[in-house]
Chain A
């Protein structure tokens, strides 16, 4: 079991190195870092000097090592357009994105799972049909359109809820939160729903599919033949077996919420990392792009690792060695 986790950790590190290489290549070879830093009138000699000072003449491996060292510390240099350290820009924006993403993830999980279980157990009820057809609509609706529709409905027509920004934010020093003011909470409602709908339908359909699969197995039939109650069959035997594959995919999905947030942020002008990234793409601001990429990859890898460990804890077939 320990070797399994160690193996997974090594794999995670390898993935991070690969992502690091890609972002490094981005930083180094896409656009010219020097001309992005200095004005038109800088002489060739000065440029060379700067190049030397920045270590751009060092061998590739050393440059990459330096990049990696800085990346681990969270330093990705100055933004080309804003002239501010990228780390500072990102850390200002992280709370906004995380608050939005985590709330959406919780919403998607706590509504999507029960809906999935319900639709698997009550295969033919009208509520199941309703859930299933609305879930297809949910998958077919692009996130940005959901946002626009919600804005039109609750912002423009009824004027109940704010449609852009975070509202009033309380600064806790290391974290700025919108959860402590009434306007902050109101501002969160529409973006959270927008971001959650797609994931919610996905989780629901996944749980349903897995559970139906499990309900067809022999051990469920054998359980019924032993007279076990439907409650025990569904919630004790089927649910546990359903959750194992669901955990992996759900974990990945929740990770992707943070990346998906960029669409929602763009629609609601939410001051998070995603909005920053979109603006960076428009402005060809490579350091911000690189930093965002590494951060997202890191979150993904971390979640993945967590999921793998959870897997081992839950599944006895991985936990114990085969006897006789």
Chain B
């Protein structure tokens, strides 16, 4: 009986999926599924980096300075062990990219999640309750909007640098960067959610909830929230690309992640010093990975926005 019920639900789900416009659009938009596959591949590579990377670039014992600054394996003086060459420390570029991807994606996902959590909650409260609470939250948002995200992140990082000693700073750099990016991005979620909530809350299904006698909290979370999440997903996806870029930028500027926990940005920074001496591969391969990552996330987000907006179809 229970089994049959589950089977029915599964069939029901299949039918719904086949009927679903978004799924249809996904299947028929090469840009969407190619970017999704690329993105998932990169995430998998990052998650399984210790398994798939040819070397462990952080195992100091395995590093050999004789291997330093080797070009990619297909070039003269290349070494088949290092497909994409090595850096000045003799670390294989391919392996550092896998590990760097891990850190970049970790920072990206956690900071977007935090940002989303803060932004959506404040937006929901601001839009539903209105009045003074709304005014205060939105004024803070206005002030923050006067500065680009990268500047806010830089500032938070800078303040932390001033307050903390160097050792503490290196240990906590990862979390400071995550916090800085999260704080710099919440406004967009809050504004979008707030304006959606303002249009949703006067709709009759919300009034129906009030007539039943449901409390504000229940109406906000159970009724309004699911109806305003569409644009949040879109912003979240695009913000993921942005967060990864901001992190890379901070690290490139030397105020993000230290060389001990190198992200893609840190790798590019390290390589940039060797650009003029002709060792382009140290920069270009991490750079290309970063571009592919942010491009696939952006392409997916762009498709998602169009797919969720029925007016454009």
* Contact of A297 with B146 at beta-carbon distance under 8 Å, contacts A141-B291, A281-B255 already known: yes
Q: Mark B276-292, 1 if CB is under 8 A from A, else 0.
A: 10101001100100110
Complex partner residue of A142 from B148, B245, B311, CB under 8 angstroms: B245
Query: What is the predominant secondary structure among interface residues of chain A facing chain B?
Result: helix
Question: B158 to A289, Cβ gap below 8 A?
Answer: yes
Query: What is the predominant secondary structure among interface residues of chain B facing chain A?
Result: helix
CA distance A216 to B310 in the complex (A): 13
Of the candidate stretches B39-47, B70-78, B94-102, B159-167, the one touching chain A is B159-167
In the complex, B38 has a CB within 8 A of chain A: no
CA distance A259 to B312 in the complex (A): 34
Q: Which of B122-147 touch A at CB < 8 Å?
A: 139, 142-143, 145-147
Of the candidate stretches A145-153, A165-173, A229-237, the one touching chain B is A145-153
Closest partner residue, chain A, to B299 (CB atom):
A136
In the complex, A296 has a CB within 8 A of chain B: yes
Question: A15 to B146, Cβ gap below 8 A?
Answer: yes
In the complex, A200 has a CB within 8 A of chain B: no
Across chains A and B, the number of contacting residue pairs, with CB separation under 8 Å, is 112
* Contact of A148 with B287 at beta-carbon distance under 8 Å, contacts A15-B142, A278-B255, A284-B162 already known: yes
Q: Chain B's nearest CB lies how many Å from the CB of A104?
A: 14
Closest partner residue, chain A, to B149 (CB atom):
A256
CA distance A141 to B287 in the complex (A): 9
Q: Chain B's nearest CB lies how many Å from the CB of A94?
A: 17
B255 partner residues in chain A, CB cutoff 8 A: 278, 281-282
CA distance A263 to B150 in the complex (A): 9
A-B contact pairs, 29 of them (CB 8 A): A18-B143, A19-B143, A31-B162, A136-B299, A140-B241, A140-B294, A140-B295, A140-B297, A141-B294, A142-B245, A145-B248, A145-B268, A145-B287, A148-B272, A148-B287, A212-B312, A216-B311, A252-B145, A259-B148, A259-B151, A262-B150, A262-B154, A266-B252, A278-B253, A284-B161, A289-B155, A293-B147, A297-B146, A300-B147
10 nearest CB pairs, A to B: A281-B158, A140-B295, A284-B162, A256-B148, A140-B294, A300-B146, A142-B245, A140-B298, A259-B148, A259-B151
Give the B-binding residues of A (Cβ under 8 A): 14-15, 18-19, 26, 30-31, 136-137, 139-145, 148-149, 151-152, 156, 212, 216, 252, 256, 259-260, 262-263, 266, 277-278, 280-282, 284, 286, 289, 293, 296-297, 300-301, 304
